[in-house]
């Protein structure tokens, strides 16, 4: 009986958390899209600062992670393709796989670990030190001033980082293809873009927008619901990263099924 109670309690808590996340999401969209126009651009410097933190300061780590992934993929792909006498197609393998799947997912995981955890920690600290209650006391909506700027910054900057990651991954493949596999630079570049269509790029960018929403909502939700002082902040930060990772992979699987099994 205790096991059934635990399962029921966990299910109810999970359902309530999902409901609260969606409620937070729609409140954020309200302040972003439907709130009175006069109040939308108050705090533009703060939004810009969040974009710098989420995007500009993530460029270096995104570049090197995707560059090395491109190098690894090229070496692994060349090993298989060489047995078929089709080594030059390693360029197409890298470009399509990076733009469709690996680039958006890998960049989202990196940003979730760096930015999502920071969002949860920052908002969690504000929650346990009662700064959020102080905003409410002054009739300032926390979602408008704390959640919406972070949400907007991630939605704008994650696709930009994804494009950078795609280019870095293809650069990694180019380095292996040209300097290790001895494919001529012109042939490599031609093959690289011969099989890459706009659908592949746009699919990856659309995924990155959805991943940005997931990262922002999970980080903000965990931060706003932090309890228990410093220990609670650490717990919220950990949960933010773990849940974001799981939801990014799950969302990627769902979107891939939608795009490729329905031929969208």
Which residue shows structure tokens 């729609």?
A: 26
Whether the per-residue pLDDT at 38 is higher than 50: the answer is no
What's the pLDDT band for 254 if we cut at 50, 70, 90?
very high
Q: Average the pLDDT over 75-104 and give the result.
A: 85
Tokens at 70, concatenated: 């491109």
Q: CA end-to-end span of the chain, whole Å?
A: 48
Q: 0.95 cut: is pTM over it?
A: no
Q: Average the pLDDT over 198-210 and give the result.
A: 91
Q: Average the pLDDT over 249-263 and give the result.
A: 85
Query: Who's near 229: CB < 8 A, 6+ residues apart?
Result: 128
The neighbour count for residue 178, using CB atoms within 10 Å, is 17
The neighbour count for residue 51, using CB atoms within 10 Å, is 19
228 phi and psi, to 5 degrees? 95, 25
Whether the per-residue pLDDT at 13 is higher than 80: the answer is no
The neighbour count for residue 166, using CB atoms within 10 Å, is 26
pLDDT top residue among 78 and 238 = 238
Give 145-157 pLDDT, tens digit per residue.
Answer: 889 999 999 999 9
Q: Average the pLDDT over 122-137 and give the result.
A: 87
pLDDT top residue among 15 and 256 = 256
């Amino acid at each position: 009986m205790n096991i059934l109670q635990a399962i029921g309690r966990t299910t109810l808590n999970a359902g309530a958390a999902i409901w609260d996340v969606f409620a937070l999401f729609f409140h954020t969209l309200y302040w972003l899209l439907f709130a009175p126009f006069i109040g939308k651009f108050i705090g533009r410097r703060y939004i810009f600062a969040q974009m710098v933190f989420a995007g500009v300061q993530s460029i270096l780590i995104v570049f090197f992670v995707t560059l090395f992934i491109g190098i690894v993929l090229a070496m692994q792909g060349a090993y298989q393709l060489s047995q078929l006498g089709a080594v030059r197609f390693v360029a197409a393998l890298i470009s399509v796989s990076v733009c469709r799947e690996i680039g958006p997912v890998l960049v989202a995981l990196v940003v979730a670990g760096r930015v999502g955890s920071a969002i949860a920690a920052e908002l969690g600290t504000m929650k346990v030190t009662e700064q959020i209650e102080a905003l409410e006391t002054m009739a300032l909506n926390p979602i408008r001033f704390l959640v919406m700027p972070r949400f907007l910054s991630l939605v704008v900057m994650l696709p930009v980082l994804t494009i950078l990651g795609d280019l870095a991954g293809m650069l990694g493949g180019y380095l292996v293809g040209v300097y290790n596999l001895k494919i001529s630079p012109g042939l490599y570049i031609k093959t690289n873009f011969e099989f890459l269509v706009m659908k592949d790029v746009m699919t990856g960018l659309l995924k990155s927008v959805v991943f940005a929403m997931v990262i922002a909502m999970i980080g903000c939700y965990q931060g706003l619901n932090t309890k228990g002082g410093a220990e609670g902040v650490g717990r919220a930060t950990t949960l933010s990263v773990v849940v974001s990772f799981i939801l990014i992979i799950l969302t990627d699987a769902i979107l891939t099924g939608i795009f490729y099994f329905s031929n969208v």
